[in-house]
Homo-oligomer: A and B are copies of this chain.
Amino acid sequence: MFETAELGRTLASEEYKKIVPELRQELLEVQRQLLNNGSFQVILIFAGVDGAGKSEIVNLLNSWMDPRWLVTHAYGPPSDEESERPEYWRYWRDLPPKGQIGLLLSTWYSRPILDYVYGEHNLANFDKRLDRITGMEKGLADNGALILKFWLHLDKASQQQRFQSLEQDPLNAWRVTEEDWKHWELYDGFMGAAEHCIRKTSTGEAPWHIVEGGDLKYSAVTVARTLCDSIRLQLERIKHEAELAAVAKSRLQPQPQDSETATDQDRGREVVRPSVPTVLSNLDNDLRLSKEEYQQQLSTLQGEINQLQHQAHESNISTLLVFEGADAAGKGGAIRRVISALDAKHYKVVPIAAPTDEERAQPYLWRFWRHLPRAGRLTIFDRSWYGRVLVERVEGFATEQEWRRAYREINDFEEQLAEHDILVIKYWLHITPEEQLDRFDARAATPYKQWKLTEEDWRNREKWADYELAVNDMVERTSTSLAPWTLVEANDKRFARVKVLQTLRDRLQQKLSKTIHSDP
């Protein structure tokens, strides 16, 4: 695999001096085009043999390009805030926004390769982590990111020479550590792991470029050229796709105008249910709790949850609660009953509405990653990442491709949460269209609740069947053993709130008993 990177390629100084000014101008130009286009970010990953010049290339690129739209990250041991979240949280946190370029060193490839070479992980575990990587990279690429991965190679003898020459330079001797020499002794093992890693993770979305690392002038120019060409290609692809889309659109029949443009008083009152049974069809909408039962269970449950959350906090167990449901299904009321049981110091409620502009400049899941709680805390999402496969699907805010692939993205995300031992509880609060109508009417009749009822709520009712089918698909595809959905019969608010609390209590109990048993 690395033979072609052991050819001793170099770039003569004169040629280098001729090339670099033009190359720099080209880099600045593509940077400007990227920034103006603003629809994707570029992620460069540098990995490879120590001493092959990764840092030096990154430094050169930094001095060649406009540093304002460029960011470099190198990853050492995680900070405590990072360790309290899933492994990839810090990479998500550092993603460059669309229009900009990120240069990443010692990133998600480092630990898996090291752990395998040191024998701390077996091949199966190594492969599992490489799968996680391809999933991450595919997710980023699907969201538009351009990913370029550079493997800087040196043969064993050249690596030795490189270390020795650094050690002889008093200004640079500190760059060579004992660990470097230890890795050098493990050279063959590293190469085996590297080859396996590159084979497994070189994908169409995120291919590896193996670059010979002996001569900085050669390698830096090679990387810079690849960067320029790839950005240009991506910009052309985007332009081409936009043209195709415009042609396709112009050939479509003009859409008939909505026939109900006149405001219809009765609009949204009648609702069409889906013609096929859904997971919601089997729910017993008549489940009810009397006021007395409710009061008694509510206070018992809240007391239990308070104690359990105290234990969870002590055990550093974090929890995510996801609330989804039709308008007026009672999400807010249920959330208030949950937080009444909790210490306000331990939770945060995150309402999901329109993204901010910083969020729009990132892949879809970024705005949820950023809210993951520190150890022992809860985040309560009032609506969530499931918006992608619910409202965005039904209303056409996401393309079919986007919402279809979201199932996998979401399952990946929740798997990472589960692996980090975060408890994920997802509630769908189900009400019947008749119950919703009653609640809308009640809102309309109560002066201080009228603001909660909008034209959009009525419009959404017209798409009841679409929403119900979307819920069905969502549950079918994302109710996993790691993060199951809890369907809550919510026609009766008291019943729904108690079921929400019971589920939280049971899941906390279960989690705590597992954690305590698995503790050494």
Interface residues, chain A, with chain B CB atoms under 8 Å away: 25, 28-29, 32, 55, 58-59, 61-63, 66-74, 79-81, 103, 105, 171, 174, 303, 307, 310, 332, 335-336, 339-340, 342-345, 347-349, 351, 356-358, 374, 380, 382, 448, 451
Contact = CB atoms under 8 A, between A and B. Distances in A.
Contact of A171 (B69, B303, B374): B303
A298 B347 CA distance: 53
A63 B336 contact: yes
A467 B200 CA distance: 58
A358 B336 CA distance: 26
A344 B68 contact: no
Contact of A80 (B72, B81, B343): B81
Interface of A is mostly: helix
A68 B349 CA distance: 6
A66 B349 CA distance: 10
Contact of A79 (B25, B80, B332): B80
A435 to B, nearest CB: 23
What 8 pairs between A and B have smallest CB-CB spacing? A68-B351, A74-B345, A67-B349, A72-B344, A63-B340, A62-B344, A58-B344, A59-B344
Contact of A310 (B32, B66, B80, B174): B174
B307 A103 contact: no
A71 B58 CA distance: 40
A28 B448 CA distance: 10
Contacts of A73: 345
Contact of A335 (B67, B74, B81, B174): B67
Contact of A66 (B62, B70, B72, B332): B332
State the oligomeric state as a number of copies.
Answer: 2
16 contacts: A28-B448, A55-B343, A55-B345, A59-B340, A59-B344, A63-B340, A68-B349, A68-B351, A70-B349, A72-B344, A72-B347, A79-B80, A79-B374, A103-B344, A356-B356, A356-B358
Most chain B CB neighbours (cut-off 10 Å) among A29, A66, A345, A374: A345
Nearest to A74: B345
A380 to B, nearest CB: 8
A260 to B, nearest CB: 30
A115 to B, nearest CB: 22
Contacts of A303: 171
A83 to B, nearest CB: 10
Contacts of A28: 448
B32 A451 contact: yes
A79 B85 CA distance: 14
A382 B68 contact: yes
A67 B333 CA distance: 10
A167 to B, nearest CB: 16
A63 B310 contact: no
Nearest to A359: B358
Contacts of A59: 340, 342-344
A374 to B, nearest CB: 8
Contacts of A174: 310
A28 B349 CA distance: 16
A311 B339 CA distance: 49
A339 B71 CA distance: 12
Contacts of A382: 68
Given A55-B344, A62-B339, A356-B356, A25 B70 contact: no
A340 B29 CA distance: 20
A343 B174 CA distance: 14
Contacts of A80: 79-81
A32 to B, nearest CB: 7
Contacts of A335: 67
Given A80-B81, A343-B55, A448-B25, A71 B32 contact: no
A71 B348 contact: yes
Nearest to A67: B349
B451 A339 contact: no
Contact of A345 (B72, B81, B348, B356): B72
Contacts of A74: 345
A79 B343 CA distance: 21
A390 B285 CA distance: 64
Contacts of A356: 356-358
A50 to B, nearest CB: 15
A374 B58 CA distance: 20
Given A61-B344, A79-B80, 17 more contacts: A28-B448, A58-B345, A59-B340, A67-B336, A67-B339, A67-B349, A71-B348, A72-B345, A72-B347, A72-B348, A79-B79, A80-B81, A81-B81, A171-B303, A356-B356, A357-B357, A357-B358
Nearest to A350: B68
Nearest to A36: B451
Contacts of A380: 67
Contacts of A448: 25, 28-29
